[in-house]
Amino acid sequence: AYPLSGAAKEEDSNRDLAQQYLEKYYNLEKDVKQFRRKDSNLIVKKIQGMQKFLGLEVTGKLDTDTLEVMRKPRCGVPDVGH
């Protein structure tokens, strides 16, 4: 396999971060495959839901602000009811 370029690696780690975050706090089912399909409608909706709740611009994308907020310390209780 081609070694991943820096940008691709970073994109991967951002996606991992987002996947864990949405699984932990936004009730996203643990299913790796769907996250690989970036344009998966469900993922976009989950990202939009998180951005709306946390007062971010609702872009549905893993933009800088969104990634920054996901790295901030927070309460471990989910934002969406189980």
Partner 1 sequence: FSSFPGMPKWRKTHLTYRIVNYTPDLPRDAVDSAIEKALKVWEEVTPLTFSRLYEGEADIMISFAVKEHGDFYSFDGPGQSLAHAYPPGPGLYGDIHFDDDEKWTEDASGTNLFLVAAHELGHSLGLFHSANTEALMYPLYNSFTELAQFRLSQDDVNGIQSLYGPPPASTEEPLVPTKSVPSGSEVPAKCDPASSFDAISTLRGEYLFFKDRYFWRRSHWNPEPEFHLISAFWPSLPSYLDAAYEVNSRDTVFIFKGNEFWAIRGNEVQAGYPRGIHTLGFPSTIRKIDAAVSDKEKKKTYFFAEDKYWRFDENSQSMEQGFPRLIADDFPGVEPKVDAVLQAFGFFYFFSGSSQFEFDPNARMVTHILKSNSWLHC
Which residues of this chain interact with partner 1, rule CB under 8 A?
24-25, 52-55, 69, 71-79, 81-82
Place of tokens 């991967």: 12
Closest CA to 69 of 34, 24, 18: 18
Q: Which is nearer to partner 1, 43 or 70 (CB)?
A: 70
- Minimum Å distance from CB 72 to partner 1? 5
Look up residue 47 and give its amino acid. Answer: I
- Minimum Å distance from CB 28 to partner 1? 15
- Minimum Å distance from CB 74 to partner 1? 5
Distance CA 14, CA 17 (A): 5
